[in-house]
Every structure is written in C-alpha cells, then in structure tokens.
Chains A and B, each alone.
Chain A
Amino acid sequence: MNDAEKRDDMLAAEYALGTLRGGARLQFQKRLAAEPALAARAAYWQNMFSALDSHLAPVPPPETVWKRIVLDLPSTTPLRKSRPYIGWMAAASLAAVTVIAWYSTRTPELAPLMVLNDARQHGEWVVSADARREHLSITPLRPNAVAAQHSLQLWLIPDGQAPISLGLLHIAIPTRVTLRNTALTPDATIAISLEPEGGSPTGLPTGPVLYSGKI
C-alpha cells in the first residue's frame, strides 16, 4: 500500500468501526459509490468486525415490526391517474373503523375521536378533536415512508356528499386542522389518500385511499 492507499484504508476501517462521523462519513459514503477499490476495503473491514458479533445471542423482534414493514413497502400496483370518487368512497366504506375511548382521567384540549385504519386493520392515524369538533389533530401512530413525489391528503366526506379537502398531512408529526364552513356531521367519513406532491390537482381525491374511518 502506498501512503494514499494507507490513508484510505484507515478511513475504511474507521467507517466500518463506526467512528468516522459527520461530514467525513458522508464524503466517504459518496466515494464508496464511485470507487470500487475503496468499497472493497470497506467491505474487508466490515467482514472483519462482523466476527465480533459471532457470539451475540439473537433476540426475536415483536411481530408488529414485520407488519409495519409490509404496510410501508411501496405498492406494486401502478397508481391510476384518476378515479371516480364514487368507487373511491366504496373502498373507503369497506375499511374498518375503530372508535377508541375518550380519556376520562385527563382533560386534554383535544381528545382522541377515532383511529383511521387501512384495509388490514392496523391502526395508523389517530384523529383527535376538541369538544366542539372544530379543531382536529391528526397524529401518525408511527411515521410512514411516503415517496418524495407524493403527499398524503386529508378528506372529510359528509354522508352522501363529495369529499372536501382538509389539506395535506405531515408524515411524521401531528397535523392541526381547523374546520371552517364545514362540520363533523354524524356518519361523515374521514379519509387519507395518496396524491401527487402538493396535493390533488383536481380538488377531489385522485389516488388510492390509504386510511379511512367513519365518525
């Protein structure tokens, strides 16, 4: 090894060990993609250090981890560009609803109202509302991966009427929504659809409904 190779080998070793951090680590990762010889050195050290795991006793993860992985895999069916909302609502009405109990021991400003499920009945979003049901908070139970070119859009569907957009959702943190000129009427459906980045271009849901629930 010449001096440059020795320097690179030390970087590869520190990268595999985990002590190469910050900008140096990012820069090294970029080089890995372009330099096969460097990738081979990094792999050499990774293989070596992996022997340190040779006596690690396995720990089975809970089954919920696998269920969430399956939910977050990108769909294999191509998205249709438009879809009449009647069919879309039929799909929404098939999805299961779980209403969860209001917390009686605490009196938070917003109390959980319902859980939006997907068709597989894994609760994924909690809708909370204030007593007058004017302010909503939509909280992901677990952050979901959504491809960069997509957004999640929230809809209110009064019984027998067209969907009303309530705006786009944050993927990882709660989204607050204030209802104006519209109300959470009994039998209304709340749903989340997958839309192009920035939201539906038509004002009506265009992508598949991922989660829904009836009030």
Chain B
Amino acid sequence: MDNALAQQQLKLMQAIANGDRRAFEQLYRLTSPHLFAVALRMLRHRAWAEEILHDCFVTVWSKAETYNAALSSPMTWLTHIVRNRCIDWLRSGQTRAAAREESYSEDILLSESDEPNSWHDDAQAARLRHCLEHLSHEQRQSITLAYYQGMSHSDIADWLQQPVGSVKSWIRRAMDHLRECVGL
C-alpha cells in the first residue's frame, strides 16, 4: 500500500478512537467505496450492502480502540468487519427466503479494474496471484467462491455439485500450499 495513505489511515484510526467525528467522516469517505464494493460482491444486493456498510461503520465508531495496528492495516481490519457481517447476513434465514423469492438486482455492475487499487501492497498481491496459479482448478475455484461470494463449504459443494468432503479437503490443501508459497 501507498505508505502515505497507510499513515493517513492510521492517524485517522487513532483520532476516531479518541472520539473525533471529523476523522470518522474522513475515514468513511476514503474507504467506503472499496468496502461497499466488497459487500456488493458478496451479497449481490444493493440494499443489503448499504445496510451492512451502515452497521459496520456504526461498529467502527464504537470499536475503534480495539483496532491493533501491529496486526493489520486499517483497510484490512475494515474489510474483515464488512466480510464478517456479510457472512452473518448470508447465514440468516430471512436472507435465504428473500433470495429465493426476489431476483437479485441485475444492475449491480462490479468490475475488476485494470489498474490495481492503492489499498494493497502490489508485491504481496502479485505473489498471491502467482501462488494461486499453482493450485488445482478445484482448489482455486473453492477458494475464490468462498472469498468472493461468501460461500460456505456446503454452498460450494452445491454449486460445484461435488461432495462437501471434497470441498473441505481442496480448501485445506489450498491453504497448505498458500502458507508455504506465500511464506510466513
């Protein structure tokens, strides 16, 4: 990640932990377009993604002091909060019922941009992509369905029409490979 950007986010996180609302708004302006895209990709439903973004930032305001700069960048921490809430949301029975009855909004256009965004370490991203290429097709597919779509083991099994046990072992083997390939 761009170092100046990382430093700016760290300063904002500290200010938010001290109750600075202007810093909170700045962090929102800086990070919400990326986080909204993450939520949209997982939920594929604009109203739900808005709800998640709202809930997550209210949480960020009250839990900012629990952020640990030694563990992750603010963006990684925020992304984790959003993904976590999306997973809870996807698990709720209400969502499943709605998903059956309503068609997903077709107007959600999520695109992969040609240029990498500035949130991530380019070298790290390149390395992960390189390591993903070494996975088997099933392993890579399972990892990406889980990460991008928020699918559980059984969702992936249904999607690929394969036994749950196979999906679990593909993911485990993929993790073993990534741990070695990307390194500690």
Interface residues of A (CB under 8 A from B): 9-10, 13-14, 16-19, 21, 39-40, 43-44, 46-62, 64-66, 68-69, 72-74, 76, 142, 145
Is there an interface contact between A10 and B182, defined as CB atoms closer than 8 Å? Answer: no
Partner of B171, one of A19, A21, A40, A47: A19
Partner of B54, one of A43, A59, A69: A69
Interface residues of B (CB under 8 A from A): 19, 21, 25, 28, 32-34, 36-38, 40-41, 49-50, 53-54, 57-58, 61-62, 68, 71-73, 75-76, 79-80, 83, 87, 91, 110-117, 119-122, 124-125, 127-129, 143-144, 146-148, 150-153, 171-172, 175, 178-179, 182, 184
Is there an interface contact between A54 and B34, defined as CB atoms closer than 8 Å? Answer: no
- For B124, the chain A residues whose CB sits under 8 A away are 47-48, 51
A-B contact pairs, 19 of them (CB 8 A): A17-B175, A18-B83, A18-B146, A18-B152, A43-B68, A47-B72, A47-B76, A48-B178, A50-B119, A52-B144, A53-B119, A54-B122, A54-B125, A55-B116, A61-B49, A65-B54, A66-B32, A76-B19, A142-B54
Is there an interface contact between B121 and A51, defined as CB atoms closer than 8 Å? Answer: yes
CA distance A74 to B60 in the complex (A): 12
Closest to B21 in A: A73
- For A43, the chain B residues whose CB sits under 8 A away are 68, 71-72, 76
Given A56-B112, A59-B37, A72-B58, is A48 in contact with B119 using a C-beta cutoff of 8 Å?
Answer: no
Is there an interface contact between B146 and A17, defined as CB atoms closer than 8 Å? Answer: yes
Interface of B is mostly: helix
Is there an interface contact between A74 and B50, defined as CB atoms closer than 8 Å? Answer: no
Known: A17-B171, A59-B40, A76-B19. 4 other contacts (CB 8 A): A43-B71, A46-B76, A57-B37, A72-B54
Is there an interface contact between B37 and A56, defined as CB atoms closer than 8 Å? Answer: yes
- For B121, the chain A residues whose CB sits under 8 A away are 51
- For B113, the chain A residues whose CB sits under 8 A away are 55-57
Is there an interface contact between A54 and B116, defined as CB atoms closer than 8 Å? Answer: yes
Is there an interface contact between B112 and A55, defined as CB atoms closer than 8 Å? Answer: yes
Closest to A39 in B: B71
Closest to A58 in B: B33
Partner of A61, one of B33, B71, B116: B33
- For A59, the chain B residues whose CB sits under 8 A away are 33, 36-37, 40, 110
